[in-house]
Structure 1
Amino acid sequence: MFNLSNLRLLTSWGSVLLYFLVLAGWMDTVTSPAVLMVLFTLFFAVIMWSAFGVVHEAEELAEIMGEPYGTLILTLSIVVIEVALVAAVMLGSNAAPTMGRDTMFSVLMIVMNGVVGLGLFIGGLKHREQSYNLQGAASYLSVLIPLTCIALILPNFTTSTESGTLSFWQSTYFSIFSIALYGVFLITQTGRHRAFYVHQIEGKVDEDVDAPRPPIDMAKLRNHVILLLANILPIVLLSKGLAKILDAEIKALNLPLALGGVVVAAIVFAPEGISALRAVARNDLQRTVNLCLGAATSTVGLTVPVILAIASFTGQKVVLGLAPREVTLLGMTLILSTLTFSNRRTTMLEGTVHLVLFFVFLVLVFNP
C-alpha cells in the first residue's frame, strides 16, 4: 500500500540518485548565489522531510522497546547524521578547521537554550507547571559539564600546540576518556539506574522498570529498524552535497563562517527537536529532558572523538577551543541548566530565560 512513508522514501532516495548521477559534478561549476540558494533549499527540504521519517520510526521503536531505549535510538541516530555532515565538510575541498567546534557549540545552544527554552515556555503556558525525574537530569548534566569543558574550553589553555588545538596524544587520551565516560553513562542509563530516566509522580515511577515487559514483536521491531535506517541514509548521503552548497553560498554572500555550524546543527537536531516539542506539548517533560540533555551529551561525547580521529588520519588542523564570547555563553548555559534542572517542577520563567540566551547567541552569530 502506497502511503506518506513510501512517498517520503521514494523522494529521498530519488534525490540521492539525482545527486550522484547528475548534480554532483555539475555543482562544482555553479557560482551563482541564486542557483546555489535554490539547490540549498531543495537539499534542505529533502533532508528535513527525511528527518520527519526518522522521528516517526524512532517513536515507533520507543513504543516497542520502552524508555529510555526509544530516546536513545533517536539520539544515536542523530549522532550518525551529525558526524556525516561534519565529516563531509571536513573532507571537502575547502577544509574548515572550526566546523566541528562551531557545529557542536551550535547544537548545544540550539538544544540547551532554543529547544529547552521553547519547550519549557510552551509547557508552562499550557500546563502551568511540569515535573520530571530530577535524578536523570542531574546525571545528564554531571556528564555533560566535564565533557563540554574538556572539548571546547580546555584546548584554549593547553601549551603543547597553538591555542584552541590539541596535540596528538592529548587528542588520543581525551577521546578515550570521552568515550569511556559516555559508555559508563549508557550502562547506567540502560541498566541498573534506568529508573532515573523514567518520570516519577509523588515518589512512584509511572512505569515499573523492573517489571517484565511484554514480549517484543521481533518482526515489527525489524521492520521499523530497517525503515529508520532507510530514512537516515539519504540524509547521510546528501550531506556532502549540502555541505558543498553551504560552503559556496556562505562565501558567495560573504556570510559569517559560524553560520555553517548553525545550519548543520539545525539540520542535525531537527528530528529530536520536533519530537521534544511534541512531547512537552502532551505534558511528557521527561521525554523532552531525555531527548535534549541526551542529545547534548552524545554530541560532545561521541562527535569529538570522531572529529579528532578524522583530523589525525588526514593531517587536518582542527580548532576546538571556543572564542571568549562563546565561552561566556557556554558557561552561562551550563550554570543556567544546572539551576533549571535542580527543581522538580518547571514554569514559563525558566523557558523565557533560556530563550533569551538563545536569541543572544543568534545575534552574536551575525554580529560577533
Structure 2
Amino acid sequence: MNEQKAVIVTGAGGNLGSAVVRELASAGAKLVCMNRSSHELEALAGDLPASTDFLSIAGTDLTDYASCAAAVARAVKRFGGVSALVNTVGGFQMGPIGPEAREEWFLGVSVATSLAFLVFQEQLFGQLSDPLWFTVVFAWLFAAVLGSALSVVRHADHLAERLKEPYGTLILTLAITSIEVMAISAVMLHGENNPTLARDTLFAVVMIILNGMVGLSLLLGAWRRPEQQHNLQGANAYLGVIVPLATLSLVMPTFLAGPEGQHPSAPRQLILGIISVGLYATFLFLQAGRHRDYFTDDSNRHERISERVPRHGRVWLHAILLFAHMGPVVFLVEQLARPIDYIIETLHAPTAFGGVVMAILVATPEAVSAVRASIANNLQRSVNIFLGSVLSTIGLTVPAMLVVSQLYGHPVTLGLEHGDLVMLLLTLAVSIITFASGRTHLMQGAVHLVLFLAYVLLIFQQ
C-alpha cells in the first residue's frame, strides 16, 4: 500500500465508500476518491488524518466514458499511476428517470405554488390580518422563493464547472444578482414607495455575509483545528474593491444630501453606476486572467481540494433548468411583496425588515456552501464565496437598482445613517483585520458573530 501509485475508490462519499477510504488511509495508502457530490468528499476529507496523501475528484459520472477517462488522467498525473480500483457503486442507469430528473422535484413545488397564488390570489391574501394565516402564507412564499433560488444557484454552479472561467463566474454571479434585483424591484414597486429598500437590502447583505456568514464559517471551521489558511493576496484584492464601492454607495451619499434629501441626482447616479460596473468588470477580468492564482490556496495541503470533472453534453440541460427555476421566482417574489408590505405598513414593523428578508433570500444559498467548505478545511473556497458575494452585490445590484429607479420614477436613498453607518465602517475595519494575515482562528469568528448580533439588535431599536 505504500508504493508510489494510488488506489481509486468510486462512490467514496457513501457509507461503504467512506469506510473503505478510512481503512485504506489508516494503512497509509495514497487515495483517489471519486464521487458525484463534492460536499460529501469535503466532509470525508475533514475526517482523514492530516498525513493522508489524498486527491478527491467530484462530479465523476461512471456511465460516461469521457468523464471516467478525465478522472483517471488526473489521478495518473497526480500520483504517476494507479495500482488498484475499489468500485463501491454501480456504473449504470436505474430506470427511465435519471438522477438529474429526480433532483428537480422542487420545480414542481414552485410551479404548483405559482398556480395556487395566480388562481386563488384574493382568497389567499384576503385574511392576512389573521396572525396564523399571515405566518402560513409568508412562510409558504418564502420557502418557495428560497428553494427556487437554491436550485438556480445549483444549476449555475454546474454551468460554471462546464464552461470554465470567466464565463462560469459570470453566469453564477448574474444568476444570483438577477434574483436579488427581481426581489428588490418587486417589493420596491409594490405598495407605498419605500426609497430605502435598496439601501436596507445592500446593508443587510453586507452584515449577514461579512458578519454572520464569515463568523459562522470561521467559528465552525476552527472548532476542530487551531487555525485555517487562505490566500492573502486574494482577500486583499476583494477588500480593495469592496471598501471603496461600499463607501461610495452607502457612506458618501449621506454627506452629499441635496435639496431633495439623500436621493442622488441623475448625474451622481450615472457616475456611481459607471464606477461600480467598471471596477467590478476590471476585477472579474483580473480574477479570470493574470491573477487567477490569487483566488486559490497556495499551500501544499490543498492537494486535497476537490477537483470537479465536467459531465459532457449536459450544458443545454442545466441552462434550460436554470431558466425554468427562475421563472417561478419572478412571479413569487411579486407575491412575497404583499405580506412584506403588510407587516411594514399595517403592523408598523421596522422599515429595514423588507431589506433583511431580501438579503436572507440572496445570501442563504451561498452561505450553505461557504460554511460547508470551511468545515471541510477549505477556507479559500469560503473566502471566495462570501467576499465575492458582497462584491457582486454592491458592484452590480447598485447600478441595476439605479436603472430601475430611473425607469419607474421611484427615488432611492442610498446613504446610511446613525448606528447603521457606524456598523458598516466597523464591519469593514474588522474584516480587513481578520483577513490581513492569511490565517484565521476561532476568536475572529466569535468577533464577527458578535457584530452580527449587534446589527440584529439595532434593527429593533430604530
- Fold shared by both chains (TM-score > 0.5): yes
SS at match of 1:127: coil
Paired amino acid for 1:359: L
CA distance in 2, matches of 1:120, 1:96: 35
Contact 2:149–2:179 (Cα < 8 Å) also in 1: no
Change in CA separation of 1:67 and 1:350 when aligned onto 2, cut-off 3 Å? farther
SS in 1 for 2:195: coil
Which structure 2 residues correspond to residues 157-196 of structure 1 after superposition, within 5 A?
157-196=255-294
Give the stretch that moved more between structures: 88-97 or 330-339: 88-97
Cα distance in 1, alignment partners of residues 435 and 261 from structure 2: 33
* Structure 1: distance between partners of 2:104 and 2:311: 22
Per residue, is there more helix in 1 or in 2? 1
Contact 1:197 1:286 in 2 (8 A): yes
Spell out, residue by residue over 1:153-195, the C-alpha distance to the aligned partner (whole angstroms, 9 max, x if none).
1111114444422111111111111111111111111122111
Amino acid at match of 1:143: V
- 1:337 Cα deviation after fit: 0.6
- Could you report, residue by residue, the CA deviation over 1:225-260 in whole angstroms, capped at 9, with x for unpaired residues? 322332333223211111121111233333211111
| Structure 2 CA distance for aligned equivalents of residues 164 and 301 of structure 1 | 20
Partner of 1:362: 456
Q: 5+ unaligned residues in a row in structure 1: which ranges?
A: 208-212
Matched, 1:39 2:155: no
Q: Deviations over 1:113-145 (max 9, x none)?
A: 000000000001033311111111111111111
Cα distance change on mapping 1:229 and 1:218 into 2, 3 Å: farther
Conserved in 2, the CA contact under 8 Å of 1:55 and 1:275? Answer: no
1:255 — aligned with what? 349
Offset of residue 51 of structure 1:
3.1
Residue in 2 that maps onto 1:210: none
Give the fraction of aligned pairs with identical amino acids, expressed as a percent: 40
In 2, Cα distance between equivalents of 1:358 and 1:93: 30
Given that 1:133 and 1:286 are in contact with CA atoms closer than 8 Å, whether structure 2 keeps it comes out as yes
Give the secondary-structure state (helix, strand or coil) at the position aligned to 1:96: coil
Matched residues in 2 for 1:276 and 1:61: separation?
19
Partner of 2:28: none
Conserved 8 A contact 1:5-1:53: no
Cα distance in 2 for partners of 1:168, 1:239 equals 28
Deviation at 1:73, TM superposition (A): 3.8
Alignment correspondent of 1:122 = 220
2:166–2:284 contact (8 Å) kept in structure 1 = no
State the match for 1:268 in structure 2. Answer: 362
More moved, 348-357 vs 30-39: 30-39
Structure ID, larger Rg: 2
Runs of 4+ in structure 1 deviating by more than 6 angstroms, as ranges, are none
* Deviation of the 1:197 alpha carbon: 1.1
Moved more, 61-70 or 248-257: 61-70
Residue in 1 that maps onto 2:182: 84
Q: Are the aligned partners of 2:191 and 2:341 in contact in 1 as well (CA < 8 Å)?
A: no
Distance (whole Å) between structure 1 residues aligned to residue 455 and residue 244 of structure 2: 22
User: What's the CA shift for 1:66?
Assistant: 5.5
Separation in structure 2 between the aligned mates of residue 323 and residue 51 of structure 1, nearest angstrom: 31
Give the AA of the match of 1:252: T
Match of 2:437 among 343, 357, 362: 343
Distance 1:293 1:214, change over 3 A: closer
After TM superposition, the structure 1 = structure 2 runs for residues 53-92 of structure 1, keeping only pairs within 5 Å, are: 53-65=151-163, 73-92=171-190
Write the letter of the residue equivalent to 2:221: G
Distance 1:5 1:36 in 2: 30
Counterpart amino acid of residue 186 in structure 1: L
Match of 2:108 among 10, 26, 29: 10
Shift of 1:57: 2.7
Identify the structure with bigger relative contact order (alpha carbons < 8 Å, sequence gap 6+). 1
The whole-number CA distance in structure 2 between the counterparts of 1:360 and 1:143 is 25
| Cα distance in 2, alignment partners of residues 92 and 346 from structure 1 | 43
**Is residue 237 of structure 1 aligned with residue 335 of structure 2?**
no
Q: What SS class does the counterpart of residue 219 from structure 1 fall into? A: coil
Q: Is the 8 A contact 1:151 1:321 kept in 2?
A: yes
Q: 2:193 corresponds to which residue?
A: 95
Contact 1:68 1:194 in 2 (8 A): no
Mapping of residues 186-335 of structure 1, within 5 Å:
186-201=284-299, 217=311, 219-335=313-429
Q: Contact 2:219 / 2:445 at 8 angstroms: preserved in 1? A: yes
Going from structure 1 to structure 2, the CA distance change for 1:159 and 1:361 (only over 3 Å counts) comes to closer
C-alpha displacement at 1:60, in angstroms? 3.3
Change in Cα spacing, 1:198 to 1:161, as seen in structure 2 (3 Å) is: farther
Mapped contact 1:279–1:287 kept (Cα < 8 A):
yes
Shift in alpha-carbon separation, 1:31–1:344, aligned structure 2, 3 A: closer
After TM superposition, the structure 1 stretch with the greater mean CA deviation from structure 2, 260-269 or 99-108, is: 260-269
Following the alignment from structure 1 to structure 2, what is the Cα–Cα distance between the partners of residues 60 and 229?
13
Q: Report what 2:10 is aligned to.
A: none
Aligned residues: 362
TM-score scaled by structure 1?
0.91
Runs of 5+ consecutive residues of structure 2 not aligned to the other structure: 1-96
Name the Cα RMSD after superposition. Answer: 2.5
CA distance in 2, matches of 1:14, 1:27: 14
1:341 to 1:67, Cα distance in 2 relative to 1, 3 A: farther
Q: Match of 2:48?
A: none
Preserved CA contact (<8 Å) 1:198 1:205: no
Task: Give the Cα–Cα distance (whole angstroms) in 2 for the partners of residues 89 and 237 of structure 1.
Answer: 12
Q: Secondary structure at the match of 2:223?
A: helix
CA contact (8 A) 2:159 2:318 kept: yes
Quick check: 1:33–1:253 contact (8 Å CA) kept in 2?
no
Q: 1:134 corresponds to which residue?
A: 232
Q: Using the alignment, how far apart are the partners of 1:102 and 1:177 within structure 2?
A: 21
